[in-house]
Structure 1
């Protein structure tokens, strides 16, 4: 990477921020094209589609969010109720089977994935992890009814000729975010962690726990699955998609650790992010402003890491240039706070 490319990228971030503040307008950025592997299948005229995963399992998607339902001989099991899909979730199920819906599983507590839960009525049993119940009790949101059935580690739901296995392996995207596995169909669902064909949404998918989110990729690969649902975007995934997602984050973590190391080294032609060079300039422009020091050097490390990472991943996974900086920023912060990779903020020799 050249210093010039770094400066251009970092200057753009600063310019974008200034533009929004000064003009109160939203700049429209043209990003790299979405790779064919991540392109969206067509929706029906109502703006949704159903993907048949086999043996009674179906994904419903509006190409921004997705959910799952499994048809058994005695009832339909639904996983998540994204409000963007809304009533169309019920339409998709009704167009597939006359068997009544008996259970609704919450992947986690976030409203963008279960904000349509109230549409299923009071007779449908809601199931979630105990932490999700606690969160929903605190929120008191009528659109996200408190679950009727809760579990701590594992829960096997067996209805008619179908089963869905629920397991909790620790905090990742949010506490209470669970693995949902249909063994008969080899369908695995973990929401807001892995996005087939895409890099994560900003800040590692707004992860509550970055180390737990990184760990969850290896946990995902412990399952025997043919289909993977991540709760977002354009298509179902497979094992290869999970491997790619893990590789991307492994690269991002390595590159961010290298960037932090550079901030603690002397400046030279290949190191434009040395704290010893940047810090006096920040102090001169912002006397006594400690947050300006943190923001500038952490942002510089994140921008450097993002650029290095995108040299490999841009065009390989969609939107690497859209959320790459935000994801790098989250990893830099996690490396500092969780993994003790402190760079210039560590104990001096």
Structure 2
């Protein structure tokens, strides 16, 4: 019997089917919910990347495409191997931290699975936003209007501007710190200034020696492209050290498939130190002459900038990629992008301008 090409309405089933079929037809189109086309995608020109170290992976996902695990006591985490959330089961209900849309309804399944086991209420009474970005809280609309939503004031302002029904505005805001006590459990929320995004907070569970801070530390992996697309690079770098100042043993980083250890934090900080040293050296060592000679005569200033800055990023990334391939997953995927972003920060934030400085 021929396989149906009807697109499943259940996202979980769609992801399962995609994982088993491996390739979507290149010539396919979607019309009326039906996938049509027969030619398979040509993947021959896709780049090859280094194997992912085994220790970078987290636990296997269940049939619904998620994993829920106990961190300690009444504190749990959920992942779909790309995003993470954390929740605290209390005598009065559940405190959830973040609601990534890729996990979506699986958050409800995970919470129900845990609370049905420990006999506590399954209702999410409080929802904490780590920051405003939709990829981390875009499923917040799944929870009822009576859910208390908590966020830092900068996050509240950004959500008011977005006016996104999938990210309802917080009902409780704070400026520097907020201690949430619910049903005999405590979470300490603190803001140390902008880093990845304005309003990005540190969520500390002191009774469970656990810290959740999102898009700052990436256990087992290099940071996401362009230093996690962070809006304040100097303070994003600083936030890594601030995170290490907390007395945690377990980190929930918001991304990928496993929890973090203190050794993970120390390794990323060393990666960033090496990347900065290499980038500083490349800014001064790469000869700008060929780029000015080739494009200056054309009056193409943007071409001068692009070719020189790309060359600097490539030179900066090369030794760092070589050092960390096999130690940090995807070192060969994003290190050049991360070097480019760090180079730009060094130029505009630290005044290391290279050939674009004050003319003699």
Q: Give per-residue Cα distances to partners, 1:157-195, cap 9 Å, x unaligned.
A: 011221000000011100000001100001101101111
Matched, 1:341 2:349: no
Q: Aligned to 1:103, which of 119, 126, 131?
A: 126
* Relative contact order higher in (CA < 8 Å, ≥ 6 apart): 1
Asked if 1:62 is matched to 2:85, the reply is no
Cα shift at 1:328: 0.5
Report whether the alignment pairs 1:212 with 2:217: no
Normalising by the residue count of structure 2, what TM-score does the alignment of the two structures yield?
0.85
Matched, 1:118 2:136: no
Structure 1 stretches of at least 4 aligned residues deviating more than 4 Å after TM superposition = 24-27
Give the structure 1 partner of residue 330 of structure 2.
319
Aligned-residue offset at 1:278: 3.0
TM-score of the superposition, structure 1-length normalised? Answer: 0.88
Cα distance in structure 2, aligned partners of 1:146 and 1:302: 39
RMSD: 1.4
How far apart, CA to CA, are the structure 1 residues paired with 2:313 and 2:353?
14
Deviation at 1:73, TM superposition (A): 1.7
* Count of aligned positions: 314
Q: Which residue of 2 aligns with 1:288?
A: 299
Provide the C-alpha distance between the structure 1 equivalents of 2:351 and 2:42, rounded to a whole number of angstroms.
Answer: 39
- Deviations 1:291-348 (CA, angstroms, capped at 9, x unpaired): 1111111111001111121121111100011111110100000000001111111124
Q: Per-residue displacement from partner, 1:229-287 (whole Å, max 9, x unpaired)?
A: 11000100011111111111111111100000113xxxxxxxxxx00233212335xx1
2:114 alignment partner, SS class: coil
Once the two structures are TM-superposed, the CA of residue 117 in structure 1 deviates from its matched residue by 0.2
1:278 aligns with 2:301: no
- Where do 1:23-42 residues align within 5 Å? 27-42=45-60
Q: Which residue of 1 aligns with 2:265?
A: 242
Q: Which structure 2 residues correspond to residues 1-349 of structure 1 after superposition, within 5 A?
A: 27-97=45-115, 98-99=120-121, 100-263=123-286, 274-283=287-296, 287-349=298-360
Query: Separation in 2 of the partners of 1:39 and 1:111?
Result: 24
Alpha-carbon contact 2:295-2:301 (below 8 Å) kept: no
Other-structure match for 1:271: none
Superposed CA offset, 1:87-140 (max 9, x none): 110110011114122100000000000000010111110000001110010011
How far, CA to CA, are the matches of 2:310 and 2:343 in structure 1? 9
* Map of 2:32 onto structure 1: none
Give the match's secondary structure for 1:244.
helix
Distance 2:275 2:69 in 1: 32
8 A Cα contact 2:58 2:259, kept in partner: no
